[in-house]
Structure 1
Amino acid sequence: MIDLTPIGIIHSPFTGHGQAPRQGRSSNEKMKIEIYPEYQQGIGTMSGISHIWVLYWMDRADRNTLFAKRPEWTEKKPVFTTRSPSRPNPIALSIGKIEDISDGIITVTGLEALDNSLVIDIKPYVVEIDCIFDALNPFEKKE
């Protein structure tokens, strides 16, 4: 049994399918992550943290697919080899750049969340842990 409790909600200018960018890093749109009052102490000052991992629930995604296809692909690929929001458990993992923190609200850029997406967790982005320079790029075009 898995018991998840949302810790907040995302306020985004994107309200429907197809409005959000494919990857949030290509967007400068500001979004507000409203942390629910009972979890606000968990924010602290976030001193020394410029970016955060935001895990949120993509409630409008199709949960009944095991294959995904981007427009530039010639065929579908297994969903667990893609970043598609449509998957059995539509959990998003995005990096947000902190723009401001005030009164339980973390303002970020770099997310592709739709408005009212529920936040599952937030973790600091740590270069020494999260950046793997010699990792393979599965989306690299091979000539």
Structure 2
Amino acid sequence: MAETWDIREGEVALERDPSDAPDAGVVFIGHVRSPWKRREDCPKNIGRAREAGGDAWIELKPAFAPALSGLAVGQPIILMYWMNRARRDLLLQNPRHVDAPRGTFSLRSPNRPNPVALSTVRITSLDPQAGRIGIDAIDCLDGTPVVDIKPWLETVDIPPA
């Protein structure tokens, strides 16, 4: 059953939801476990998630556990996750924190054609056998699918001045 969405003043949506015709397959490698069960309670960004605190971790599917080799507690990683409860049809959005509608690609909103989100988080615990990575914080709902994990590298990930 398709979900219906309200349109705020100034918002523009696609005629057809991109999720109706996928172009490529994405493999979910696991799920985020977070204290956030409802959208209303979930922090809007990773900074607010750190302020709120709470236990968060990544549970990988068993087949992907060997891919954790080389990671270490204290290391920052880039976590990519699929905001599976977000809208996918908005081109212009009217967030409550801005004064006028903006293009989706100028926002960090989860509502986008491909709802891929990313956060740089720090590993707080690591159990490669169980495929579990403790992380310092996360800004998504419990059960959000994980797309990928990459090491954060200062020599690569800091943009030039």
TM-score by length of 2: 0.77
1:48-63 equivalent positions in 2, closer than 5 A: 50-63=75-88
For 2:24, the equivalent position in structure 1 comes to 2
Structure of higher CA gyration radius: 2
- The AA in structure 2 aligned to 1:53 is I
The alignment status of 1:41 with 2:66, answered yes or no, reads yes
Match of 2:136 among 83, 93, 109: 109
Q: How does 1:68-79 map to 2 (within 5 A)?
A: 68-79=93-104
Q: Can you list the C-alpha shifts for 1:57-85, whole angstroms capped at 9, x where unaligned?
A: 10111111112233231101100011000
**Counterpart for residue 21 of structure 1:** 43
Q: How far apart are residue 52 of structure 1 and its match?
A: 0.7
- Summarize the alignment of residues 115-134 of structure 1 with structure 2, pairs less than 5 Å apart: 115-132=142-159, 134=161
In structure 2, the CA distance between the partners of 1:53 and 1:113, relative to structure 1 (3 Å rule), is same
- Please say if residues 52 and 124 of structure 1, whose CA atoms lie closer than 8 Å, have aligned partners that are also in contact: yes
- Aligned partner of 1:66 in structure 2 is 91
Task: Using the TM superposition, name which of 25-34 and 95-104 deviates more.
Answer: 25-34
Structure having the higher helix fraction is 2
Report the AA paired with residue 118 of structure 2. Answer: L
Instruction: Please name the residue that 1:139 is paired with.
Output: none
Distance 1:51 1:121, change over 3 A: same
User: Runs in 1 of length 4+ with deviation above 4 angstroms?
Assistant: none
How many residue pairs align between the two structures?
134
Q: Is the 8 A contact 2:123 2:135 kept in 1?
A: yes
Q: Is the 8 A contact 1:95 1:110 kept in 2?
A: no
Identical aligned residues as a percent: 28
